[in-house]
């Protein structure tokens, strides 16, 4: 049987080319991953129109989650961090409750997974790095603060034309720019910017945990599904 340990479903923004390969890379033996696209219109990955796309994706989420639930996954993941920043804390919590009631399946978000990762590692002070524009970056900082985290520094990747065209090297650069000595961890937001290839390197260079939305959501999905799968090369999160 496919996914004899667990099946995990991901709801992916329509233009995002990063989630599938990165989640497949992190998938342990006996676990299968499955993907459904959310709906949005307009250019994909650009700063312009991002909030409108986020809200369109939320509007399409009910049907996408219903279809994905037909696979009988152990957990469904909303694989988009900035949506949480756009809709806010209470709406995100309500979205999770509604989806779990409608599908009968555990439902988690990328941002909620980041919070779980911080809690598990005992992290309160974070350096925050993003590929977003100034508005969405500030929404994310405020969202982190609202959940009780001390954001000690913010770094925003400059010169972004399309988030989905960014590179691992650029993710490393902005993560390093964000770090400060007082930060207990570095958080790289966004599931579209590739991060897996640099997490361990940046963590080794900084001597502290480096968590991306991608690493956190797979770690949390496995945890919720009851699968313990320590992994080398993706930071200390996969060893707790």
Separation CA 216–CA 225 (nearest Å): 14
User: Domain check: are 204 and 120 in the same one?
Assistant: yes
88 lies in the same domain as 201: no
List the CATH number of the domain containing 222: 3.40.50.12500
Q: What is the pairing mode between strands 106-109 and 210-212?
A: unpaired
Residues 82 and 18 in one domain: yes
Cα gap 8→123, rounded to integer Å: 27
Mean pLDDT over 13-17 rounds to 92
Tens digits of residue pLDDT in 55-97: 888 888 899 999 999 999 999 999 999 899 988 999 999 999 9
CA distances to 67, 74, 91, 203 from 107, rounded to whole Å, are 14, 9, 14, 29
Residues 104 and 12 in one domain: yes
Long-range contact list for 95-100, CB < 8 A, 24+ apart?
95/58, 95/61, 98/62, 99/61, 99/62, 99/65
- Are 40 and 90 contained in the same domain? yes
Q: Which two tokens stand for residue 213?
A: 């939305």
Distances in Å between the alpha carbon of 84 and those of 21, 24, 33?
A: 23, 23, 22
Same domain, 101 and 127: no
In a domain, 81, yes or no: yes
Task: Evaluate whether residue 134 is within a structural domain.
Answer: yes
pLDDT of residue 62: 93
The two structure tokens encoding residue 192: 């579209």
Domain that holds residue 209: 113-213
Which residue has tokens 């650009």? 46
Q: Tell me, yes or no, whether 206 and 219 share the same domain.
A: no
Structure tokens given for 27: 């998938």
> What angle separates helix 110-121 from helix 213-224, to the nearest 10 degrees?
80
Pair 100, 123 in one domain: no
Residue 1: inside a domain: no
The count of domains in the chain is 2
The CA–CA distances, whole Å, from 132 to 129, 192, 219, 239 equal 9, 11, 24, 29
Shared-domain flag, residues 70 and 125:
no
Residue 42 confidence (pLDDT) above 80: no
> Mind listing the pLDDT tens digit for each residue in 135-169?
999 999 999 999 999 999 999 999 999 999 999 99
Helix (H, G, I), strand (E, B) or coil at 80: coil
The answer on 123 and 33 residing in a single domain is no
Q: Is residue 92 part of a domain?
A: yes
Whether 79 and 169 map to the same domain: the answer is no
Are 96 and 120 found together in one domain?
Answer: no
How many CB atoms neighbour CB 182 within 10 A? 10
Instruction: Provide the whole-model pTM.
Output: 0.95
Q: Quick one: residue 214, left, alpha or beta (phi over 0 = left, psi -120 to 50 = alpha)?
A: alpha
Q: Note whether residue 232 is domain-resident.
A: yes
Give the model's pLDDT for residue 52. 80
């Amino acid at each position: 049987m496919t996914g004899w340990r667990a099946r995990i479903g991901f709801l992916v923004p329509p233009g995002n080319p990063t989630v599938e390969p990165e989640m497949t890379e992190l998938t342990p033996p006996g676990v299968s991953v499955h993907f459904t696209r959310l709906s949005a219109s307009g250019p994909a990955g650009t700063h312009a129109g991002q909030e409108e796309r986020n809200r369109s994706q939320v509007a399409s989420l009910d049907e996408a989650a219903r279809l994905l639930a037909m696979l009988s996954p152990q957990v469904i993941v909303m694989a988009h961090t900035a949506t949480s920043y756009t809709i806010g804390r209470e709406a995100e919590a309500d979205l999770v409750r509604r989806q779990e009631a409608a599908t009968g399946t555990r439902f988690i978000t990328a941002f909620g997974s980041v919070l779980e990762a911080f809690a598990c590692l005992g992290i309160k002070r974070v350096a925050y790095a993003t590929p977003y524009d100034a508005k969405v970056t500030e929404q994310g900082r405020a969202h982190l603060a609202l959940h009780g985290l001390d954001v000690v520094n913010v770094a925003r990747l400059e010169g972004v034309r399309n988030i989905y065209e960014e590179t691992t090297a650029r993710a490393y650069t902005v993560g390093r720019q964000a770090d400060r000595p007082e930060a207990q961890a570095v958080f790289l937001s966004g599931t579209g910017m590739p991060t897996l290839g640099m997490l361990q390197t940046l963590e080794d260079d900084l001597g502290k945990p480096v968590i991306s939305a991608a690493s956190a959501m797979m770690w949390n999905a496995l945890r919720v599904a009851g699968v313990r799968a320590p992994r080398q090369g993706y930071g200390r999160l996969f060893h707790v």
